[in-house]
Structure 1
Amino acid sequence: MTAMETTKDFPDFPLIISVDDHTVEPADVWQSRLPKKYLDTGPRIVRAPLKEISFLGGRFRPVMGAPGDDGPLGDWWLYESLQRPLTRLDTAVGYSRDEIKLEVITYEQMRPGSYDVPQRLADMDVNHVQSSVCFPSFPRFCGQTFTEAADHELALLCVRAYNDWMVEEWCGPQAQGRLIPLTLIPLWDAELAAAEVRRNAARGVRAVAFSEIPPHLGLPSVHSDDWDPFLAACDETGTVIAMHIGSSSRMPSTSKDAPPAVGSTITFANCCFSMVDWLMSGKFERFPKLKIMYAEGQIGWIPYILERADVVWEENRGWGGVADKVHRPPSELFAEHIYGCFFDDAFGLKNLDAIGVANVLYETDYPHSDSTWPKSRQVGEAQMGHLDPEVVERIVRGNAIELLGLTPEGLWR
């Protein structure tokens, strides 16, 4: 955990609105919502031993054993031919750093706040967090699991079932407005995606998950017109496009045998590439109310990328292929449309003037291994000690309230 010397006291450090946390979906999310004919192929949980597991070169490879085989028991999601275990990396809070290993676990072996609403609120209270936006686990960060499925009729039902659970249960009455819904779209069809954005916007949803680099999923890039129906729906409804690191199913790495520590150090890289894509795409000029945010991407890298993008736009936009669609400096587009999210970035906070106070959001990453829980307040106090209280207020909660259309008190509704 990085820290810098505190120069101001924070007796009233603002209650945190975390724009990047995670939920581990309860076992019945899909089994209780899918038509009966899909229950044997739709997502379901079984308990089985682990045969082997690896995470090298940014690729996660678990192999499920047969009943009676030796090996640690874990809970596995089965969906069509997919076998995906719950792992300690899905929910690591409450364990010391040295205890967090790549291993399979059961629901009983995870902190209940990972999947239970009242327990999540209690853990938020411990961590000085008022409200929280949660990304998925089994569907992956933007619903890639359903995009890769063979049966897209079933996959669409799965996307809608997840969104119904997210809005009606995870963010339902028990949550007291403190859990902010983030929904999925059927990434394989932009028209269906637009319809799902509008369906959820009609019930108050203001954020949707998307891939940082869609071509890594075999999907069109943001430079094409293919996504325009989806982007138009987001522009029309004020729905924020939220992109989490790893939402292109390819974590940054350098080689097939690079240990996870390499990728973990450069997790921001896909956000960097993605942001340049968006800045040079012309989409912000075509959809002027569009807003995007990069969850867990940190912010310290942003100033140089904006500086370089402006130089390229100024000097090379003719042969660079963007003169006819990007009519303003990329840094201006960033200021109006893009938000960086961080949980531990002292360097970025020292360079806020080059990023923009209005373009920064705070997060805690509960319950992942990088999470600052239960000390997110202390980390914030240490790293923001040089900032004026009004700036801290904006970063910790004010910008999120404005972006996500929350109540003045910081609640969903």
Structure 2
Amino acid sequence: MTDKYKIISAVDRVVEHPEVWTRRLAKSTWGERIPHIERGADGADAWVVDGRTIPLSDIAQVGAVMPDRAKTPARWDDIDASAHVPGERIKAMDKDGVDYTVLYPSVAGFSGEIFGAINDLDLELACVRAYNDWLIEEWTSTNSRLIPQCIVPLSPVDATVGEIKRAVTGGHRGVIFPAEPTHLRNLPHINSSTYDPVWATCQELDVPLCFHAGSAPQLQFPMAPNLALELSAAFQAVIRPASVVFDLSNILFSRILLRFPKLKVVFAESTIGWGTFLLEYADHQYEQDHCNYELKPSEMFRRQCYLTAWYEPVRINARHIGTDRILWATNFPTANSTWPESRPFAEKCLACMSDSEQEQILRGNAAKLYKIARENGRLE
């Protein structure tokens, strides 16, 4: 295990390059439905996914490496190489003092929700597999400091389970899933027993199930169309973690954690400040409404769930959430990232905590969760 900096970032993004799918999907089969970039009349680039046009500025959230963090890239050439070239990512990590990075997608959606909205199940599966293979072949196979997580097709569930098994066998360390599939197309609610084979597979393979903040935009307050450009990124960054309040509340009351007591669940880009309130309130309502579960919501959380932090004071919240339930993140390369000052941020946010508590949050929890081995082969 590389342990030079003693920080593992549990939430970072990879920006997929324009040829990820055009190289891997047969044009004779899929034609222009293959995810690709087109340049508009205004000179700006956009991704086109099965006929759906998505501005590059919405996909490539790379403010940390833009000349102005409030700006978004209009063209592919505007994107810094550290967002999409593995060797350059390693250099950016070294500059920031980060040993390992756990990766989430961009073009596919934070949690694969853009592909999850594709109605053609064969195309959805082809796009998902292409991403999962690309991430292993062109990123994580080049350097063990890059930790891959797979996205999945959402239906049929047999295909979901099959891709999880294939991807994990191929090297993926986590499974990314949209917070609410019903928002994407005509799919069952996430609480439905339809998905039980998915949770069972994650539990059996001992890989975390990961929900990224913002993967269900319907749970967020809409941005005003006349909001100044320099404020839009800040607004989106602030409201995105709020959606996790809905996600976590649902998971705690869904009985999923009771049915699958060894399932591990990560809420990425969540922040932690609201966690204390939510757990206290959930326990209060549990007792008031006589939910009669085997465990209180806070007990289920402390057994199976993780939140992520990167900018806020940790000590007071860790008392209630648990130091073993917090993962550290830099959120590179988004505008709200602490790059390239993540170490000073960590020192400030973890002030007054013991060395062992800091070590646990900055690297120990993630090393154990993602099975990041030391160089001598011993797992954390």
Find the counterpart in structure 2 of residue 40 from structure 1. 32
CA contact (8 A) 1:178 1:412 kept: no
CA contact (8 A) 1:30 1:158 kept: yes
Matching of residue 265 in structure 1 with residue 256 in structure 2: no
Distance 2:208 2:95 in 1: 28
Q: Compared with structure 1, are the counterparts of its residues 223 and 94 closer, same or farther at alpha carbon in structure 2 (3 Å cutoff)?
A: closer
Q: Compared with structure 1, are the counterparts of its residues 85 and 262 closer, same or farther at alpha carbon in structure 2 (3 Å cutoff)?
A: closer
Find the counterpart in structure 2 of residue 343 from structure 1. 310
Of 32-41 and 329-338, more deviation after overlay is shown by 32-41
Distance 1:83 1:270 in 2: 24
Find the counterpart in structure 1 of residue 322 from structure 2. 356
Residue 211 of structure 1 aligns to a residue whose secondary structure is coil
Distance 1:156 1:403 in 2: 27
Find the counterpart in structure 2 of residue 378 from structure 1. 344
Find the counterpart in structure 1 of residue 140 from structure 2. 171
CA contact (8 A) 2:323 2:357 kept: yes
Find the counterpart in structure 2 of residue 328 from structure 1. 295
Matching of residue 212 in structure 1 with residue 176 in structure 2: no
Q: Compared with structure 1, are the counterparts of its residues 409 and 312 closer, same or farther at alpha carbon in structure 2 (3 Å cutoff)?
A: farther
Find the counterpart in structure 2 of residue 398 from structure 1. 364
Following superposition, the deviation at residue 216 of structure 1 comes to 2.8
CA contact (8 A) 2:66 2:72 kept: no
Task: Compute the TM-score of the two structures, normalised by the length of structure 2.
Answer: 0.90
Distance 1:118 1:184 in 2: 23
Rg larger in structure: 1
Following superposition, the deviation at residue 188 of structure 1 comes to 3.1
CA contact (8 A) 1:131 1:411 kept: no
Distance 1:207 1:85 in 2: 28
Amino acid at match of 1:91: V
Find the counterpart in structure 2 of residue 221 from structure 1. 189
Amino acid at match of 1:93: A
Distance 1:95 1:170 in 2: 22
Residue 314 of structure 1 aligns to a residue whose secondary structure is helix
Q: Compared with structure 1, are the counterparts of its residues 103 and 131 closer, same or farther at alpha carbon in structure 2 (3 Å cutoff)?
A: closer
Q: Which runs of 5+ in 1 are unaligned?
A: 1-11, 50-64, 66-70
Residue 267 of structure 2 aligns to a residue whose secondary structure is strand
Amino acid at match of 2:188: P
Find the counterpart in structure 1 of residue 208 from structure 2. 240
Following superposition, the deviation at residue 133 of structure 1 comes to 1.1
Matching of residue 78 in structure 1 with residue 45 in structure 2: no
Amino acid at match of 1:313: Y
Amino acid at match of 1:76: A
Matching of residue 194 in structure 1 with residue 161 in structure 2: yes
Q: Compared with structure 1, are the counterparts of its residues 189 and 138 closer, same or farther at alpha carbon in structure 2 (3 Å cutoff)?
A: same
Following superposition, the deviation at residue 190 of structure 1 comes to 2.0
Residue 215 of structure 2 aligns to a residue whose secondary structure is coil
Find the counterpart in structure 1 of residue 71 from structure 2. 101
Distance 2:105 2:190 in 1: 23
Residue 351 of structure 1 aligns to a residue whose secondary structure is helix
Matching of residue 288 in structure 1 with residue 256 in structure 2: no
| Alignment coverage as a number of residue pairs | 369
Give RMSD over aligned pairs: 2.4
Q: Which runs of 5+ in 2 are unaligned?
A: none
Residue 243 of structure 2 aligns to a residue whose secondary structure is helix
Correspondence 1:47-196 to 2 at 5 A:
48-49=39-40, 65=41, 71=42, 73-87=43-57, 90-95=61-66, 97=68, 100-102=70-72, 104-106=74-76, 108-172=77-141, 174-175=142-143, 177-196=144-163
CA contact (8 A) 1:254 1:262 kept: no
Matching of residue 252 in structure 1 with residue 244 in structure 2: no
Amino acid at match of 2:61: D
Task: Compute the TM-score of the two structures, normalised by the length of structure 1.
Answer: 0.83
Residue 293 of structure 1 aligns to a residue whose secondary structure is strand
Amino acid at match of 2:199: L
Find the counterpart in structure 1 of residue 8 from structure 2. 17
Distance 1:39 1:131 in 2: 37
CA contact (8 A) 2:66 2:79 kept: no
CA contact (8 A) 1:343 1:362 kept: yes
Amino acid at match of 2:14: T
CA contact (8 A) 2:11 2:102 kept: yes
**Would you tell me which structure has more strand in proportion to its own residues?**
1
Residue 271 of structure 2 aligns to a residue whose secondary structure is coil
Once the two structures are aligned, what percentage of the paired residues are identical?
A: 32
Following superposition, the deviation at residue 215 of structure 1 comes to 3.2
Q: Compared with structure 1, are the counterparts of its residues 192 and 369 closer, same or farther at alpha carbon in structure 2 (3 Å cutoff)?
A: same
Distance 2:118 2:172 in 1: 26
Following superposition, the deviation at residue 403 of structure 1 comes to 0.8
Q: Compared with structure 1, are the counterparts of its residues 178 and 410 closer, same or farther at alpha carbon in structure 2 (3 Å cutoff)?
A: farther
Following superposition, the deviation at residue 406 of structure 1 comes to 1.3
Match of 1:203 among 170, 182, 188: 170
Amino acid at match of 1:74: A
